[in-house]
Structure 1
């Protein structure tokens, strides 16, 4: 009998929005699932409407569906363990920050990009999808694969997909995805709290 990995509701100190409470980053994706065009467009819209310093929107994405040449090109730039589990993802998205425009440095580019990917992640969760962000990729190889201009900085690779049945996963991935989730206590995040 097949079993599904636990949806692992996060243990929060107070109730928070359901999509935030349910968000987590598995590696065990359903290798047959295809993200619907409407869902993909909604992920893009969520990213597009993220806050942006001076509304400069220095966020760019390379979006690739499993089975495409672009997906394979991204996959070829991933490091070690990331290259073992990502072929099962429905989508690979490269999150790129535009660090300069018209000769002017965009100081908040990576911050804005992070917000865009966070919004994308929450929209994905609200649609029953999962997202895992990775820093384990070869930046120069990725830059070369897509002939990125020097002002465009690849910051992360994002896997998107549907959770697989636990029995369909290799042992190592199943064990990692089933491990308990933890976070530092909320008090550890505050430098000064005067409220």
Structure 2
């Protein structure tokens, strides 16, 4: 697949979706020479800021690090497995934190759910603006906590790459195969427990 073949990544859906949803995918190949577009990065973060949350608590916080900064290097140093081999080419890395305890010490039961919505909004806005995002769970949460002195009320939930798609041929063989594999999903009927 070349950059010209990105249209082949559009989902084969059973219902018509907004283009930003149908075309969204999570690449591992990023252009390591491309600098993150600050206006597009800001728009993605603004989309996260305006996502819904239980009782409007907005329990999300983000660590945003651009490639070439010590903060970026600290995040890469805490990525695990294959993530450490490819994520360093992204233009930016974003650590998503959920505020699971409020300032008064009360549990925020929906914090992880709300953070997930915020990151979803971020990824869709980024894709709409021509950037690509890939969310990862393979990271050392304690390492990130120590690297950024994260308050105990907050839990690192995910790390998201953000940037410009690059050539998949730059990836190691196993990752390139995954990058080029057809997109698949469980059938819609299979995810509906009840559809009365």
TM-score range, shorter chain: over 0.9
**Kept in 2: contact 1:43–1:123 (CA 8 A):** yes
Match of residue 180 from structure 1: 182
Match of residue 2 from structure 2: 3
Structure 1 gaps, min length 5: none
**Kept in 2: contact 1:6–1:178 (CA 8 A):** no
> 1:167: how far off?
4.1
- Find 2:119's aligned residue among 114, 117, 134: 117
- Find 2:139's aligned residue among 120, 131, 137: 137
State how far apart, in whole Å, the 2-side matches of 1:111 and 1:140 are.
Answer: 21
**Kept in 1: contact 2:60–2:114 (CA 8 A):** yes
Match of residue 192 from structure 1: 194
**Kept in 2: contact 1:65–1:91 (CA 8 A):** yes
Does residue 1:91 correspond to 2:92, yes or no? Answer: yes
RMSD: 1.4
> 1:168: how far off?
4.0
Question: Could you state the TM-score of these two structures normalised by the residue count of structure 2?
Answer: 0.94
> 1:174: how far off?
2.5
**Kept in 2: contact 1:133–1:158 (CA 8 A):** yes
> 1:5: how far off?
6.6
Question: Could you state the TM-score of these two structures normalised by the residue count of structure 1?
Answer: 0.95
State how far apart, in whole Å, the 2-side matches of 1:181 and 1:161 are.
Answer: 20
**Matched residue of 1:104: which SS?**
coil
Q: When the two structures are aligned, how many residues end up with a matched partner?
A: 193
**Kept in 2: contact 1:96–1:154 (CA 8 A):** yes
State how far apart, in whole Å, the 1-side matches of 2:5 and 2:150 are.
Answer: 39
Match of residue 161 from structure 1: 163
Q: Deviations over 1:51-110 (max 9, x none)?
A: 111000000000000010000000111101100001101000000000011111111000
